[in-house]
Amino acid sequence: MSFSSPLAHQSGLTQWFTYLPRQTLRQSELPSIITTRFFLPSSSALETGSFVAPHLPQAATYYLWPGLQPPDNAGVLQPVLDGRSGTWWIGDGWCCADPSLAWGNGFNVANGQTVNFGMKANTIQSGTWATTLSNSGGGSVTGSFPLPTHPMNQAIMAIELYDVAWTFGQFAFSNVAIVANTTSTAWCTNGPTNYQNAAVVTNSTPVATVSGGQTTCKIASIILVRPA
């Protein structure tokens, strides 16, 4: 089974690199993916928040992102902080399966700048997601991604590295809000799952409120501190 990852450039154009099956990759080519995530019992309608761009050590394949993923793991709707040029760049996109959608526009992000992100379903029926990105340096873009067959049930915060180590310090999120189409609250109040316990992760106590058949989960702070 092969899988793909977006290579989003400062021009806003999209290129795609299809990786070989994991079992045929050389050890140096294997990605290191560290995530913490919330599993929702129903589809998500919204994810918003902000994060601080850490110091970029060098030009290399660093992908840092929050995202939303459907239950079949077919792809991820994600704003990706990309370090390959030697300067952080961020843009929204759907990676990496059907449908094939153009990657969104983006902008450069300086070390230490705050990035604000938003992913909102315009309607659950049509599955069209409106995305927003802005930063403390004045960058701002919006996007639209039609994903009618991919209701999202996973809210993810991730560090994805290719042939480089996690040496840039913490990846810190703040004021994260996730809205799910359910009145259940345990998915929120139980806190996020630390995948394979690959990182030291700290988070403030999640707070859930229910209104109009939806649960809003607010987390003031989620920090991927360092490798475990």
pLDDT, position 122: 83
Q: For residues 48 and 60, what is the distance between their CA atoms, to the nearest angstrom?
A: 27
R_g of the chain, CA atoms, integer Å: 17
Q: For residues 152 and 149, what is the distance between their CA atoms, to the nearest angstrom?
A: 10
What's the pTM value of the predicted model, to 2 decimals? 0.86
pLDDT, position 5: 39
Residue 24 has pLDDT above 60, yes or no: no
Q: Please determine, looking at this structure, whether the domain spanning 4-8+30-227 carries the CATH number 2.60.120.
A: yes
Domains of the chain by residue range: 4-8+30-227
pLDDT band at 218 (very low <50, low <70, confident <90, very high): very high
* Amino acid residing at 21: P
pLDDT, position 97: 76
Question: For the residues 116-140, what does the mean pLDDT come to?
Answer: 90
Per residue in 41-98, pLDDT (tens digit) is 988 989 999 999 999 999 999 999 999 999 988 899 999 999 999 999 999 999 987 8
Residue 120 has pLDDT above 70, yes or no: yes
